[in-house]
Amino acid sequence: MGTGFFSSVDDVSAQLAEAGYLASTAVATTVFLADRLGKPLLVEGPAGVGKTALATAVAEVTGSRLVRLQCYEGIDEARALYEWNHAKQLLRITAGRDETWDEARTDIFGEEFLLRRPLLTAISGTEPTVLLIDETDKADVEIEGLLLEVLGDFQVTVPELGTITATQQPFVVLTSNATRELSEALRRRCLFLHIDFPDEDLEREIVRLKVPGIEAALADSVVRVIAALRAMDLRKLPSVAETVDWARTLLELGAGALDERVVRESLGVVLKHQDDIAKAGAGLRLDQVLDAS
């Protein structure tokens, strides 16, 4: 059963655009299907192409609370799901010294002492929620088993309290930079969406939207140079966010056009490794890039 946020693929595109997220037809279609089918959405692609931004945009346009689980190596169930507030439990036990253990145990394992982490927070909420499980590929394989359990039935069992079942199913987005292969079991539970770097037409639209006041010719030049850089063998290819940052930088510098000096002086906004900057300086043929039809 879906969340019912969107009425059509065109509705997805229109609403996301209002939040400043320009979605391709493939992105809008997959978001619509995830919404209607009630399936988690697994979004893969290189860093900086708008995977996380997609979840935040969906939350914004639907008026939903955004609950984010940031994955990292070593994250465990206590950080992802729930844990007990041991310090508060100890204070409660100390304050009730005349009680029997059975009496104290009944009290200290109540809601007041439960620390809800992102997964349980999203499951137990009563308001529309977007659950973002960010950089899933950075978590250990054991966390995938936890995700399978939680996202399968949208319920969590806390032994001391019982089973907590979602009354308002969250819209779930999992992101991955594909630094490791996610399990087939997790993939089967999800709809899959690959977001790559946008084509030049879409990236020009993004720049014009995110950088008001930029001249069309300068936006076009920025996008062309970025495309040329992405075609090079660099350690870190420039993301869409870096395209936008570069366009803003050029606007602040008062640059009306790209030339060798402007590119050389501002390339650190786009490339974040010295060997990439050196490689781009040696291999980028600016005149050829900008003269290309």
CB atoms within 10 A of CB 269: 16
pTM of the model: 0.86
Sequence letter at residue 25: T
- 20-66 tens-digit pLDDT: 999 999 999 999 999 999 999 999 999 889 999 999 999 999 999 99
Give 132: exposed, middle or buried? Use CB within 10 Å, 0-12, 13-18, 19+.
Answer: buried
Cβ-Cβ contacts under 8 Å for 98 (sequence gap 6 or more): none
- 128-144 tens-digit pLDDT: 999 999 999 999 988 99
Give the pLDDT confidence score for residue 106 in this predicted structure.
Answer: 58
Give 98: exposed, middle or buried? Use CB within 10 Å, 0-12, 13-18, 19+.
Answer: exposed
Q: How far apart are CA 159 and CA 201, in angstroms?
A: 54
Contact 208, 214 (CB under 8 A): yes
Structure tokens at 217: 């010719």
Q: Where in the chain does DSSP place strands (E)?
A: 41-44, 65-70, 82-84, 114-116, 129-134, 155-158, 162-165, 171-176, 191-194
- 189-198 tens-digit pLDDT: 999 999 999 9
